[in-house]
């Protein structure tokens, strides 16, 4: 358990106001980390922060910011770092999930998906790595998706963006290993979050495509993230853990 402990660390979670991001912030805090939160929704941010504080988890920073374009993304990271003093762990969870048939995807929707899911992750990771350099220890955990490994014509742009996240995880892993900034990822399957409940999507997948017969829970993804953020993941670099209830192997 000692190698899983995050005592003395500060963890920044983007998209922390709900779903997987909220679960990650909670578990990392329970493992001993101070928590810095970034979310675009001020109300969700306040609720998540209050929940953590009510559990006795230290909230080191709270930033209402948009992850995407370079300047806005780096400003959000810097605001969190200024409030917290130091960021040791980053969880790149902010993302947009849309289901649109391939032939109906327009340029605006394509750009919207890639702006947050890829460009924002890239710029936040660069800012984090620059901040962590010279400190002797750092962890970046990217939230990808099983969709990055499988063909999904109903959301080709989302799947392509998550394939890019998997690729960037490998590249960042190699680029910063010498600085002991270790970069890995988690690829969730169908997780029981609000976007997945639209149109009863998760229930249909559980019935027809997931060998375990159910969707995953956000806290189950948080367990994988917390592992990769700790010293216990001592032989992982540039790798993406798939947690899909068997969906990845259908």
Tokens at 65, concatenated: 């910011």
Nearest Cα neighbor of 141 from 87, 100, 189, 96 is 87
Q: Is 176 a catalytic residue?
A: no
Residue 16: both structure tokens together = 């922390």
Closest CA to 27 of 241, 226, 233: 226
If one counts every other C-beta atom within 10 angstroms of the C-beta of residue 4, the result is: 15
Query: Nearest-CA neighbor of 173 among 186, 165, 184, 162?
Result: 184
Sequence-ordered strand ranges (E) for 6-117: 10-14, 34-39, 59-64, 89-92
Instruction: Please list the alpha-helical segments (H only) found in 55-135.
Output: 70-84, 107-114, 121-132
DSSP state of 243: E
> Annotated catalytic residue: which of 97, 122, 158, 176?
158
The residues that are catalytic are 158
């Amino acid at each position: 358990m000692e190698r899983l402990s995050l005592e003395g660390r500060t963890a920044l979670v983007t998209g922390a106001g709900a779903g997987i991001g909220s679960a990650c912030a909670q578990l990392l805090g329970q493992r001993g980390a101070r928590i810095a939160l970034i979310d675009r929704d001020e109300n969700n941010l306040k609720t998540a922060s209050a929940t953590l504080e009510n559990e006795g988890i230290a909230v080191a920073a709270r930033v209402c910011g948009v992850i995407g374009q370079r300047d806005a993304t780096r400003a959000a990271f810097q605001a969190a770092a200024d409030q917290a003093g130091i960021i040791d762990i980053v969880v790149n969870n902010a993302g947009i999930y849309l289901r649109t048939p391939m032939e109906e995807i327009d340029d605006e929707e394509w750009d919207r998906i890639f702006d947050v899911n890829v460009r924002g992750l890239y710029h936040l990771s660069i800012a984090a790595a620059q901040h962590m350099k010279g400190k002797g220890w750092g962890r970046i955990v990217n939230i990808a998706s099983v969709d990055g490994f499988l063909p999904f014509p109903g959301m080709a742009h989302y799947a392509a963006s998550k394939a890019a996240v998997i690729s960037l995880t490998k590249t960042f892993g190699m680029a910063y290993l010498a600085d002991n900034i270790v970069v890995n990822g988690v690829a969730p399957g169908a997780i029981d979050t609000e976007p997945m409940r639209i149109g009863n999507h998760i229930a249909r997948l559980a019935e027809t495509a997931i060998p375990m017969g159910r969707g995953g829970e956000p806290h189950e993804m948080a367990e994988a993230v917390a592992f990769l953020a700790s010293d216990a993941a001592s032989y992982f670099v540039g790798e993406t853990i798939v947690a899909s209830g068997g969906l990845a192997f259908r």
